[in-house]
């Protein structure tokens, strides 16, 4: 797959939105060579909740790596046609976690860039599903997630589609979704199923 802006229903518009942040951020299609990064990214999003577990760190890493692989396999099996995109940044613009736990991840497709996150999407006949959005810890709180979600809202508005997602009740991203006008549709297992309907925001 190309390391440039990937072809797809949504990626080019999201890439255009990222330009507004003036950090040189980009998107590219995920490949099999990115699995180590995906495991590290997933681990960074789940490490805190495993902190109380009386396991050695090696066992925690092994458990989360397996969970990351299972999640990835689930997406591939159940979300045919999804756009599975990685978020990249120029090396000079990347923030490095001083703890060393989430250091620099060079992009194997572009050695002058680094991997900093991912966004998975699928456009359907009646909705755009935001399957996943995640950033390395050092990149959180910098407006990247808000920029991407707002761009998706713009796309949903233009296409008269709902924008939906699953999020855990205690996920800090709940605050962002509330600010952007999402509402609870229903609870699905351990997740809140949220939606944003453009008809109510015209």
Q: What is the per-residue pLDDT across 56-87, written as a single tens digit (0 to 9) for each?
A: 999 999 999 999 999 999 999 999 889 999 99
CB count within 10 Å of CB 26 equals: 20
For 107-125, how does the pLDDT look when each residue is reduced to its tens digit (9 = 90+)?
Answer: 999 989 999 999 999 999 8
d(CA 101, CA 123): 34
Query: And the tokens for 181?
Result: 């006008």
Task: Check pLDDT > 80 for residue 200.
Answer: no
Task: Check pLDDT > 80 for residue 178.
Answer: yes
DSSP letter for 92, please. G
For 5-41, how does the pLDDT look when each residue is reduced to its tens digit (9 = 90+)?
Answer: 554 679 998 999 998 888 899 999 999 999 999 999 9
Domain locations in the chain as residue ranges:
11-201
CATH match for 11-201 among 3.90.1150.10, 3.40.630.30, 1.10.760.10, 3.40.640.10: 3.40.630.30
Q: Which residue, among 87, 49, 53, 39, has the nearest Cα to 169 in the 3D structure? A: 49
Q: What is the pLDDT of residue 3?
A: 42
For the residues of 55-77, what is the DSSP string, one character each? Answer: S-HHHHHHHHHHHHHHHHHHHHH
Task: Check pLDDT > 60 for residue 50.
Answer: yes
Select the more confidently predicted residue: 25 or 103. Answer: 25
pTM for the model: 0.88
């Amino acid at each position: 797959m190309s390391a440039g802006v990937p072809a797809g229903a949504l990626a080019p518009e999201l890439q255009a939105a990222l330009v507004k942040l003036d950090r040189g951020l980009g998107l590219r299609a995920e490949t099999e060579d990115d699995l180590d990064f995906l495991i590290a990214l997933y681990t960074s999003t789940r490490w805190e909740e495993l902190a109380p577990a009386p396991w050695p760190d090696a066992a925690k890493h092994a458990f989360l790596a397996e969970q990351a692989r299972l999640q990835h396999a689930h997406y591939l099996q159940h979300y045919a046609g999804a756009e599975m995109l990685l978020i990249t940044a120029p090396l000079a613009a990347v923030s490095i976690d001083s703890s060393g736990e989430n250091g620099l991840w060079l992009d194997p497709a572009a050695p002058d860039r680094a991997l900093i996150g991912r966004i998975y999407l699928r456009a359907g006949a009646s909705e755009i599903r935001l399957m996943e959005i995640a950033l390395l810890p050092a990149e959180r709180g910098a407006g990247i997630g808000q920029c991407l979600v707002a761009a998706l809202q713009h796309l949903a508005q233009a296409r008269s589609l709902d924008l939906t997602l699953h999020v855990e009740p205690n996920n800090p991203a709940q605050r962002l979704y509330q600010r952007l006008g999402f509402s609870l549709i229903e609870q699905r297992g351990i997740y809140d199923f949220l939606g944003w309907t453009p008809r109510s925001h015209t």
